[in-house]
């Protein structure tokens, strides 16, 4: 998409099968198969998953091959190159450094490699954007590891990092269970976005806003609370909606995905890919699947540019 902007894009969910095979070979990781077509199937979620938990299973292979700073750097450069070739001009790529330390690297070492690779790729390909570090919901990372993520995001803010997020299975807890993480982020001036209102209800969105979220990842279940929709419109909080992945996880159906309703309500909605490989999509495909008109496209991209955590350049 010429001039495309993606504010909600997971690194691990967007690694190609070809890159996974290469990275496994470079780091001695055993994969279930090295047949790219078979591997791609394992890395792609069913069109209709039983729930978010089933969707998240497709991240297992990408996480296996992202356990060294060198592999993280390679994956980021490869993704930026693909985005640029597809006509994108800006993306915020997110991942959880705390999930990438099994190879012995610290979160800081992962962050340093990621920021260096992203900065170099921006210069090489004429791209703009930044990295968002994800804290993880209960069970995926400990409180101590999540605090380390917040401190690492603060250290690298302005050096590649543009924000912090909370990701993972939304059913497991509420954003306020991670209040200390976001207190660290607010104190350091790190912009906050939080996955909320996808597998969880509108109350999770309100909880995220109370922690200082400037954007909400997904947020589609805000429609369950008309007062919340009005508050989102009034405050200018942007929603990072992701159509195909919401169909995959069952958060929405083709009929209930509320993009146009929210646009009419004045909410600053954006349209994003979420996971290019896991959901077998790209930004052009997202716009095409929804039949987005030129006027709607203009509004969505304008919303995205205004909501971006860094400067969007041509």
Q: Which residues are catalytic?
A: 198
d(CA 287, CA 272): 9
Nearest one of 219, 162, 166 to 191, comparing CA atoms: 162
**Three-class secondary structure of residue 48 per DSSP:** coil
Spatial separation of the C-alpha atoms in residues 97 and 87, rounded to whole Å: 28
Q: How is the beta sheet containing 193-196 ordered, strand by strand? A: 193-196, 215-218, 238-241, 268-271
Q: Which position has the token pair 């495309």?
A: 4
- Residue 289 token pair: 């699947």
- Collapsing DSSP to helix, strand or coil, 186 comes out as helix
In contact, 304 and 128? CB cutoff 8 Å: no
- Alpha carbon 139 to its chain centroid, in Å, reads 19
At 210, list the tokens.
Answer: 């109370």
Q: What is the DSSP letter of 126?
A: T
Q: Which 8-state DSSP code applies to residue 237?
A: P
As a whole number of angstroms, the longest Cα–Cα distance in the chain is: 53
């Amino acid at each position: 998409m010429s001039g495309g902007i993606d504010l909600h894009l997971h690194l691990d969910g967007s690694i190609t099968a070809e890159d996974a095979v290469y990275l496994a070979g470079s780091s001695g990781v055993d994969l279930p198969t090295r047949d790219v077509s078979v591997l791609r199937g394992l890395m792609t979620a069913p069109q209709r998953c039983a729930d978010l938990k089933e969707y998240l299973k497709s991240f297992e292979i990408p996480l296996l091959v992202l356990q060294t700073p060198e592999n993280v750097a390679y994956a980021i450069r490869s993704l930026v190159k693909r985005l640029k070739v597809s006509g994108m001009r800006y993306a915020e790529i997110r991942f959880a450094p705390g999930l990438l330390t099994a190879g012995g690297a610290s979160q800081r070492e992962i962050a340093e490699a990621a920021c260096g690779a992203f900065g170099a790729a921006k210069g090489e390909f004429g791209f703009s954007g930044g990295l968002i570090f994800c804290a993880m919901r209960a069970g995926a990372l400990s409180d101590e590891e999540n605090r380390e993520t917040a401190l690492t995001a603060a250290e690298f803010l302005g050096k590649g990092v543009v924000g912090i997020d909370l990701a993972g299975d939304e059913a497991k807890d509420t954003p306020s269970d991670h209040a200390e993480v976001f207190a660290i982020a607010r104190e350091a001036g790190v912009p906050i976005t939080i996955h909320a209102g996808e597998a969880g209800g509108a109350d999770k969105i309100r909880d995220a806003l109370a922690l200082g979220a400037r954007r909400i990842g997904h947020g589609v279940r805000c429609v369950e609370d008309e007062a919340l929709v009005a508050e989102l419109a009034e405050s200018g909080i942007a929603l990072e909606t992701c159509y195909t992945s919401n169909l995959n996880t069952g958060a929405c159906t083709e009929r209930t995905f509320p993009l146009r309703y929210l646009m009419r309500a004045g909410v600053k909605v954006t349209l994003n890919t979420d996971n290019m490989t896991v959901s077998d999509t790209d930004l052009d495909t997202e716009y095409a699947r929804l039949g987005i008109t030129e006027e709607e496209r203009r509004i969505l991209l304008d919303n995205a540019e205004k909501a971006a955590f860094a400067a969007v350049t041509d």
